[in-house]
């Protein structure tokens, strides 16, 4: 959060540069044509309240089954929490991890009077991590986590520039991430396997402001909300050394686990530096 505060302060300072910095400069071609950018800032995790693990105890592809003990009780009656487990019993979870992010961009703007429309392609990485945990009566903890190995997006943007110099815009379009999924558990009896990396598809939308500081260089500040959906990550629970009366094995020899919420949602605040041609 300190890094985000510093970034915001720097961007605000840049955008508050005196008007004299624009004196003598031709602003008629501002925000018109191709550009390349570097952008960086921070990714903030939203609160995924109510997220749980969901189970397919007979592996028929339908999730929502209850994992029961040999006595018919709910094996996950201690419950679930958002974040990574802090113990084997239902003692709570760590908060989801915010993290830095960095991107490279290629874009093109078309200026029509004081209005600007354009398109941007970007690729980079965020280090935010999203987790959810469940707790069984054994007791044991089970945690699923995901973060992006890399991300990419293709967006349109539209904005207004009051005679050049500064641009205020909204942006939106498609988003993609190669997600690195991880599963951890304190259960040493069963065997566990998963399908590792998966693809997340969705959208991103937001807005920002950009300021020309020379004829070819601009700085900016942007907010972006991203929603990626991944329903492919699965953990397969097998026998291991557990007896046939193990709750994961009662309905046919194994259980599949997924997250109840397939959406990976983040909020980003970024500063940018662009070179225009």
In the chain, domain spans? 2-17+36-276
Q: Give residue 11's Cα distance to chain centre.
A: 23
For every residue of 181-243, DSSP letters joined together read EEEEES--SSEEEE---EEEEEEEEEEEEEEESSSSEEEEEEEEEEEEE-----EEEE-TT--
Query: What is the number of other CB atoms lying within 10 angstroms of the CB of residue 112?
Result: 8
Tell me the pLDDT band of 3, cut-offs 50, 70 and 90. Answer: very low
Higher pLDDT: 13 or 107? It is: 107
Assess whether pLDDT exceeds 70 at residue 174.
yes
Could you read off the pLDDT of 106-129 as tens digits, one per residue? 999 999 999 999 999 999 999 999
Could you read off the pLDDT of 124-171 as tens digits, one per residue? 999 999 999 999 999 999 999 999 999 999 999 999 999 889 999 999
Q: How far apart are the first and last CA of the chain?
A: 34
Quote the pTM value: 0.86
Q: What pLDDT is attached to residue 251?
A: 85
Assess whether pLDDT exceeds 50 at residue 247.
yes
Could you read off the pLDDT of 58-68 as tens digits, one per residue? 999 999 999 99
What CATH number should be reported for the domain whose range is 2-17+36-276? 2.40.160.20
**DSSP 8-state assignment for residue 86:** S
**DSSP 8-state assignment for residue 98:** P
Mean pLDDT of 73-101: 88
Query: Could you give the C-alpha distances from 133 to 28, 180, 194, 225, 275, in angstroms and in order?
Result: 55, 17, 16, 25, 45
Tell me the pLDDT band of 47, cut-offs 50, 70 and 90. Answer: low
> Which residues, at least 6 apart from 83, have a Cβ–Cβ distance to it below 8 Å?
93, 94, 95, 96, 131, 132, 133
Q: What pLDDT is attached to residue 170?
A: 98
Mean pLDDT of 186-190: 95
Higher pLDDT: 45 or 242? It is: 242
Tell me the pLDDT band of 7, cut-offs 50, 70 and 90. Answer: very low
């Amino acid at each position: 959060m300190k890094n985000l505060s510093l970034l915001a302060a720097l961007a605000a300072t840049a955008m508050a540069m005196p008007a004299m910095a624009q004196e003598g400069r031709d602003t008629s071609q501002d925000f018109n044509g191709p550009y390349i950018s570097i952008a960086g800032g921070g990714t903030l995790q939203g609160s995924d309240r109510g997220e749980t693990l969901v189970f397919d105890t007979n592996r028929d592809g339908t999730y929502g089954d209850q994992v029961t003990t040999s006595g018919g009780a709910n094996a996950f009656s201690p419950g679930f929490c958002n974040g990574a487990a802090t113990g084997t019993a239902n003692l709570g979870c760590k908060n989801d991890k915010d993290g830095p992010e960095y991107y490279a961009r290629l874009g093109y703007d078309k200026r029509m009077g004081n209005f600007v429309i354009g398109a941007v392609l970007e690729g980079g990485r965020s280090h935010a991590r999203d987790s959810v945990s469940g707790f069984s009566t054994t007791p044991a903890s089970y945690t699923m986590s995901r973060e992006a190995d890399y991300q990419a997006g293709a967006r349109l943007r539209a904005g207004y520039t009051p005679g050049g110099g500064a641009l205020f815009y909204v942006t939106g379009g498609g988003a993609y991430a190669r997600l690195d999924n991880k599963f951890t558990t304190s259960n040493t009896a069963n065997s566990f396997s998963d399908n590792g990396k998966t693809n997340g598809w969705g959208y991103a939308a937001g807005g920002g402001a950009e300021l020309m500081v020379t004829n070819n260089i601009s700085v900016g500040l942007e907010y972006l909300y991203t929603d990626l959906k991944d329903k492919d990550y699965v953990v397969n629970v097998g026998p291991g050394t557990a007896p046939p009366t193990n709750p994961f094995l009662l309905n046919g020899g194994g259980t599949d686990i997924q997250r109840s919420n397939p959406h990976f949602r983040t909020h980003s605040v970024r500063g940018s530096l662009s070179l225009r041609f």
